[in-house]
Amino acid sequence: MSAPLVPGRPSHDDVLLANAYAVELEREYGHLQGRALLDVMIGEVLHGDIALVSSFGTEAAVLLALVAEVDPATPVLFLDTGMHFSETLRYRDALTEQLGLTDVRTFDPSALDAGAHDPDGRLWARNPNLCCYLRKVLPLERALGGFGSWITGRKQYQGASREALPAIEASSGRIKVNPLVTWTPVDIAGEYERRGLPLHPLVAAGYNSIGCAPCTRPIATGEEPRAGRWSGSNKSECGIHVGGDDVAAGPAAAE
* Enzyme catalytic residues: 238
**Number of residues lying near ligand SF4 (CB under 6 A):** 13
Among 51, 99, 132, 197, binds ligand SF4 (CB under 6 A): 132
Choose among 83, 66, 95: nearest CA to 210.
Answer: 83
Q: Does an H or E element contain 60, and which? A: helix 60-70
DSSP 196-253: TPPPPTTGGGT-SS--BGGGB----TTS-TTTTBSTTSS----STT--TT-EE-SHHH
CA angle, residues 43, 49, 50, in degrees to nearest 5: 75
* Interface stretch with ligand SF4, choices 99-107, 132-140, 162-170, 172-180 (CB under 6 A): 132-140
Stretch that binds ligand SF4, among 123-131, 161-169, 219-227, 244-252 (CB under 6 A): 123-131
Interacting positions 189-228 with ligand SF4 (CB under 6 A): 211-212, 214-215
Binding of ligand SF4 at residue 88 (CB under 6 A)?
no
User: Alpha-carbon distance 196 to 75, whole Å?
Assistant: 23
Sole binder of ligand SF4 in the list 135, 154, 176, 200 (CB under 6 A): 135
Q: Please, what is the minimum distance in Å from the beta carbon of residue 129 to ligand SF4?
A: 8
Q: Nearest approach, Cβ of 198 to ligand SF4 (angstroms)?
A: 24
First to last CA, the chain: 48
Provide the binding-site residues for ligand SF4, judged by CB under 6 A: 81, 83, 124, 128, 131-132, 135-136, 211-212, 214-215, 238
